[in-house]
Amino acid sequence: MNDELSGAIEEAAAIVKNARHVVALVGAGLSAESGVPTFRGPEGLWTKHGEPDLRDYDRFVEDPKRWWEMRISRQSRFGEFVEALDRAQPNAGHLALREMEELGYLKHIITQNIDNLHQLAGSAAITEIHGNRTKLRCVACAARWPLDEFPIEELPPQCPLCGGVVKGDTVMFGEPIPRDALDECSNQTWQCDCMLLIGTSAVVYPAAGFPIDVKGMGGHLIEVNPNETPLTRHADVILRSLAGEALPKLVQRLREMAAEGERHA
């Protein structure tokens, strides 16, 4: 481990250890080491195929039956993304976040990822601001179901609770973020005095605004990213590394600090 990184790990561990309410804001970079393409950057999905336009959700609302027919026939121009998601397993970065939660340091994960890898890694306190690809959601009452627990008997499927239209839980371009998810993100941000910014380019709102709120309330920001982002200049500590390498080292240092603390107690 180079000196610069080990010094930054030391600083980050000290901040996390002394923080009251640590929240991780997670982006596609965390799942990159699980083989899931990121969106921006040279190999990014949007860079290669172009970003979906903001009328995506309007088209769904105009003709939800057609949207479902396309979905069922897997007609997507992002086939490689879907296949990568189907194959993906949690990596050392996801597992380190679970450990940080179990050790009591990490209180919540706000993830922009739809890949369900936090749950597969065993993390518990999670808000998926862009939804979860393994779930369905009613657009009217926001009730959600695991995909395999909701038999599709008609197109578009109707919500058994309110009669609303059911769609994939993934938030589409142009779709408002579900109220319950947004409220929980605000609740966690409000309590947060240390936010880990993990593998996000921090250009998509409202997620990219949460760290600024934390900073504005006097909290600390720790960026974990091999590249600079618009949040780098606001960060107190920068772990210029891959998440799957830096996060396990951060957990290891926290464990050592806890042991040192016990020895001196």
d(CA 113, CA 129): 8
Residue 141 to residues 109, 160, 162, 227, Cα–Cα distance (Å):
24, 11, 7, 39
Pairing of strands 22-26, 106-111: parallel
Residue closer to ligand APR, measured from CB, 44 or 174: 44
Q: Is 130 a catalytic residue?
A: yes
13, 39, 123, 196: residue in contact with ligand APR (rule CB under 6 A): 39
Question: To the nearest whole angstrom, how small is the minimum distance from the Cβ of residue 175 to ligand APR?
Answer: 11
For residues 12 to 31, the per-residue mask of contacts with ligand APR, x marking binding by CB under 6 A and - elsewhere, is ---------------xxx--
Say whether residue 155 binds ligand APR (CB under 6 A): no
Residue whose Cβ sits closest to ligand APR: 29
What is the footprint of ligand APR within residues 58-117 (CB under 6 A)?
112
Which is catalytic among the residues 118, 130, 234, 264?
Answer: 130
Residue 123 to residues 11, 116, 117, 191, 195, Cα–Cα distance (Å):
25, 10, 9, 19, 17
109, 188 contact by CB (below 8 A):
no
- For the chain, where are the E strands, in sequence order? 22-26, 106-111, 126-128, 135-138, 144-146, 166-168, 194-198, 220-224, 237-239
Say whether residue 44 binds ligand APR (CB under 6 A): yes
- Cβ atoms < 10 Å from Cβ of 190: 12
Question: To the nearest whole angstrom, how small is the minimum distance from the Cβ of residue 133 to ligand APR?
Answer: 11
Residue closer to ligand APR, measured from CB, 164 or 245: 245
Give the active site residues: 130
Instruction: Point out which residues bind ligand APR (CB under 6 A).
Output: 27-29, 32-33, 38-41, 44, 112, 130, 199-201, 204, 224-227, 229, 242-244
